[in-house]
Structure formats: structure tokens, C-alpha cells
Chain A
């Protein structure tokens, strides 16, 4: 195996995979996308000069791969009618079944798993990076090429969305949102 691949795999693979999984919420797609990340990374690895950390660079690529994935899912016109900037759009409601890892957890966590899709793509990215991947504000800002204050604002807005959605779910006495039922 290529030594660069081996090292990157060892150090970052599960983290990148988890990030992609929570972005798309589909194991098969996350597998495909993680391969795409390696292809982009290895193809341009010789240009990586260490100006940013390797982890930052890798996650920046992973995020682009995820965005491209969502872009490809939609036709141009659909995107137009749908609200325009993909990264500021709500992630489409996920019809995938709950992964077993989530299904065994308590209702609050299950509800949260569902509510993530009520965030925009940017908000969801920030939530995953900050609280699941445990990246600092600074690292998140570098990965997204944003200012730290934009990360903070987006995080704050995302939590507001989640707060509202979680409250709605409790109002309805469980994870029934609209006509969907996530189980």
C-alpha cells in the first residue's frame, strides 16, 4: 500500500468517515465519498506544503466532497427553485432508516439525529465538526476558510434551530415530525 495512504488512513480515516457519514447519513455513500476524498488528497498531496495542518486540509477536502455530492443530487433548476445557495439550505429530510448505532440510544439522541437535518448544510457542518469531531473554533474556521466569528454565529444559529426542533418533537410527544416517523 502507498505509504501516504497508509498513514492518512491510520491517522484520520475513521474521523473523516464519521464526518461524511453524518453529512450524508448513508453508509454506502459515506464509503464512496471517503474514497473520493483520498483520490483528491493523493492527487494533490505533492502540492500540500504544510501551510495549514494536514488535518485541516483533509477535512476541508472532505467538506468539498460532501458539498459536491449534494450538488450532484440536484438538477440545476431544482436547486434554483429550492432556495439557491446549497450551503445555506436545509439539508433534505433524510428518509434513511436509523443506523443501529443510533437506534439503540435514548430518545433524545435519536431526536437529535433527526433534527440535524433541519439545519442548513453549513450549520450541520459546524455542529458535526465542533461537537462530534471535537474541533476547536479555530480549527473549524480554518477547515471552512471562514472567520472564527462566522463559525460562532453559525454554531449559535444551528443550536437555535436544534432547540426549536427538539422542543417541537417533545410537544408532539416523540419523534413524529410532520408526516414522517423516524424509527
Chain B
């Protein structure tokens, strides 16, 4: 036995196969009871809302359709184009794509049944002009590039998304390089971080971004410098508009990079998940940003509850107004349903309300949901958002434009 020093692969496989079978001795009845109580809650909820929504949709259909033949102009903001937007959402959800037969189903009944099952969100085509995040509508005119810019204290990495005129002939990497030179980062109250130090190149075929750093790079100075660098790279290059599988480091042409007490050769671009969004106002700046928390949360309920509090160590302030009562939050595979009331307060600051909606939408996106339905008796709309319908989550946070 253990006296041996060299095992070949077959011998190793043999030892692994000798690892014992581990059995679960729990009673299946008890397992079933435990899971069914959790399942029941979900089921009830996911059926009620969509059934109601479908009934309402049918009713609207009968009211609107005759009108369409007589009235030309129905295309106000509130009348979102359901037919245009719904299939897109289906395409984005692989679980739903699997039942591709759905669209060809002949009867109205079965079609509705499918909607109840998937609780398909309806997407509104609201105006995004006054909003801070980037929404699907923006892509008609713009391309976007996200930069993860550390604040001056190197505590938060602020995702700023720059919109530029749509131009398919320029690659994302070209756009990234051009914009990196022009970001007015200090005017935004952030650190002058981009363009990155060293030489950055991108291989289209392998989707690898290479960074060759100088030997005394600022990114190796102190743990804060190093953490911000890594955090900024993740925030910047894992963003959806870029196609980067990993970042590969070298130092003056030699493989790898010595960070603060850590040697690193490559960094896979894994997206951060399950964070909550808070408000960040840089010192001496009147600009505010929606910034993801450093910590992650077990589920979206706990994230949103935490968003009522500040994170003073990071100068992050709440996005859920103090007076607001979050009554309950439910989720199904695609969407989050958040029931809330505005509380004692008579009015509600419009800007704070928009921050609340956008922070919840971005948080939902971080948790992998496609849409949020805000359910409240207090408002019918907040800013451009019509709360009657689920709102599709944005693409990215903190819109910015840069002077050419």
C-alpha cells in the first residue's frame, strides 16, 4: 500500500473506483414533504398572475382590435408592441426555447396554457431618455461598451456604459480602444483608470484578451490596486457586448503577472452574480451611479431587503426608499414579482422612485431573471415605466455619452 510512489492512470482510476458508495438514508416521504411545501408556494403564485394577465390581455385584445381598424394612431408609449417583443424574450430563455413547438400550436387555448406555464413577461417600449441604465430599445440607435471604473478610493468599481452611434463596421475592441482614450473619468468623480496600463490586444479567433504589463505596474502596488484591477477587468470584459473568454497576462513579454502576493497567468471572464445595486455618489460630484455590491446574496429577496440599508464602508446609499414596504417578492423561472407599497410618505421623489425601479431591475438581471413585475396599488407608473406590465431587465448600468 502507501509505500508506493508512482501510480499510473489505470491504477489511480482503480483506487477512485474503490471509493465507497454513499447512500442517503433519509425517508423519501420526508424529502417529498420538504420540497413540496416550497414548490406549492411557487406554483400558486406563478399560476395566479399569468392567468389574470392572460384574461386581461384577451379583454384588451377584444377592446383594441375593433378600434385598430378605425383609429390610425395608437402608437403612444403605453401601447407597447406585444407581438414584436415577446418572441425575443422567448429566444433568450433556453429553457423555453426547448419547447419550440409553442409558436405553431393552433388553438388559442393551448397558446394561453403555455403562457401560464412560462409566465411570459410582456415588454414595454418605454422611453429611455431619462433613465440611467441601457435598455434594449437603445440598441436601435447605439452600440455600447461597458467600462468598470474604480472610484478614487478604490472601493467600488463603477460600471459605466458608453453609448456610441451604431456602426457594425467597427469591432467592439476598436470601439473599446477608442473610447478608453476619451473617458472623462475624473469629471465623473471616478479615478482616471482607462486606458489600461501596458499593451492590450485581442485575438478574435480565440476570444482571448492579452495584457502585457510593464514590470513596475501600478496594478501590483498594494492589495487595493491589485483587487481593483482584477475587479475592473471582470466588470469590463465579462460584459455582454464583448466576447472575451479570458484575459491572459504577461509582464514585459514574459508569461504571467505578479500581483500583490499572487502570481496570475490568466483570468477567466466569469460574470459576477447575485449582487444588489446601490447608489453611489462620488465625493465632490453631483453624478450618481447604480453600483453593484461587493457582497453577494443568497437570493433576490435578501438582496432587495438589504438595498434598504446603506453600506457605509463603501459610501453606498440605499436604492429602496426607507418608507417603502416590500411586502413580498416572488420569482419564477423568468421573472421577479415584487409587491410593495410606498408607505406613509405622501409623495415620492420621482428620481428616487426611478432609482428604485432601475436598481431592482439591475439586481434581477444579476440574479439571472429576464423581467420584473412591480405590483403596487400606489402607482400606475414610475417615470417612463408602466407598472401594469412586467419590465424587461436592462442590458447594462449607468449610461454615458462621450464627446468625440
| Contact yes or no, B24 A34, CB < 8 A | yes
If the complex has contacts A1-B32, A49-B99, A77-B294, are A85 and B7 also in contact, measured as CB distance less than 8 A? no
Interface residues on A, range: 35 or more
Complex partner residue of A163 from B7, B22, B117, B262, CB under 8 angstroms: B7
| Contact yes or no, B15 A108, CB < 8 A | yes
Complex partner residue of A46 from B32, B117, B223, B264, CB under 8 angstroms: B117
- A178, CB-defined interface residue at 8 Å: no
B residues near A159, Cβ cutoff 8 Å: 9, 12-13
- A141, CB-defined interface residue at 8 Å: no
- A21, CB-defined interface residue at 8 Å: yes
B residues near A43, Cβ cutoff 8 Å: 39, 42, 332-333
| Contact yes or no, B15 A112, CB < 8 A | yes
CA distance A108 to B42 in the complex (A): 47
CA distance A105 to B16 in the complex (A): 12
| Contact yes or no, A76 B272, CB < 8 A | yes
- A182, CB-defined interface residue at 8 Å: no
- A39, CB-defined interface residue at 8 Å: yes
CA distance A113 to B117 in the complex (A): 43
Q: Smallest CB-CB separation from B296: which chain A residue? A: A76
| Contact yes or no, B7 A166, CB < 8 A | yes
B47-72 with Cβ < 8 A to chain A: none
| Contact yes or no, B227 A80, CB < 8 A | yes
- A135, CB-defined interface residue at 8 Å: no
B residues near A180, Cβ cutoff 8 Å: none
Q: Smallest CB-CB separation from A132: which chain B residue? A: B19
| Contact yes or no, A42 B7, CB < 8 A | no
| Contact yes or no, A131 B13, CB < 8 A | yes
Contact with A along B30-50 (1 / 0, CB 8 A): 011011101100100000000
Give B21 Cβ to nearest chain A Cβ, in Å.
6
Complex partner residue of A35 from B35, B42, B268, CB under 8 angstroms: B35
Q: Smallest CB-CB separation from A88: which chain B residue? A: B268
| Contact yes or no, B231 A80, CB < 8 A | yes
B residues near A5, Cβ cutoff 8 Å: 32, 35
If the complex has contacts A81-B262, A109-B19, A112-B16, are A170 and B2 also in contact, measured as CB distance less than 8 A? yes
B residues near A109, Cβ cutoff 8 Å: 15, 18-20
B residues near A71, Cβ cutoff 8 Å: 273-274, 296
- B295, CB-defined interface residue at 8 Å: yes
Contact with B along A70-91 (1 / 0, CB 8 A): 0110011100110111101000
Interface residues on B, range: 35 or more
CA distance A115 to B274 in the complex (A): 31
A residues near B118, Cβ cutoff 8 Å: 47
B residues near A58, Cβ cutoff 8 Å: none
Complex partner residue of B22 from A21, A39, A80, A107, CB under 8 angstroms: A21
CA distance A35 to B264 in the complex (A): 37
| Contact yes or no, B21 A18, CB < 8 A | yes
| Contact yes or no, A75 B296, CB < 8 A | yes
| Contact yes or no, A42 B35, CB < 8 A | yes
CA distance A5 to B36 in the complex (A): 10
- B347, CB-defined interface residue at 8 Å: no
A28-60 with Cβ < 8 A to chain B: 30-31, 34-35, 38-39, 42-44, 46-49, 51
| Contact yes or no, A84 B16, CB < 8 A | no
| Contact yes or no, B28 A75, CB < 8 A | no
CA distance A17 to B35 in the complex (A): 15
Give A75 Cβ to nearest chain B Cβ, in Å.
5
- B98, CB-defined interface residue at 8 Å: yes
| Contact yes or no, A14 B28, CB < 8 A | no
- B29, CB-defined interface residue at 8 Å: yes
CA distance A8 to B156 in the complex (A): 45
B residues near A76, Cβ cutoff 8 Å: 272, 275, 293-296
- B230, CB-defined interface residue at 8 Å: yes
| Contact yes or no, B98 A47, CB < 8 A | yes
A residues near B295, Cβ cutoff 8 Å: 75-77
- B298, CB-defined interface residue at 8 Å: yes
A residues near B103, Cβ cutoff 8 Å: none
B residues near A21, Cβ cutoff 8 Å: 22
- B139, CB-defined interface residue at 8 Å: no
| Contact yes or no, A106 B12, CB < 8 A | no
- A177, CB-defined interface residue at 8 Å: no
| Contact yes or no, B19 A102, CB < 8 A | yes
| Contact yes or no, B296 A105, CB < 8 A | no
| Contact yes or no, A51 B294, CB < 8 A | no
CA distance A99 to B24 in the complex (A): 13
B residues near A102, Cβ cutoff 8 Å: 19-20
The 8 closest A-B pairs by CB, nearest first: A85-B268, A101-B20, A17-B24, A131-B16, A21-B22, A49-B98, A38-B35, A112-B15
Known: A39-B35, A101-B21, A105-B18. 12 other contacts (CB 8 A): A5-B32, A13-B24, A14-B21, A38-B31, A71-B273, A76-B296, A85-B270, A112-B15, A113-B19, A131-B13, A156-B9, A167-B7
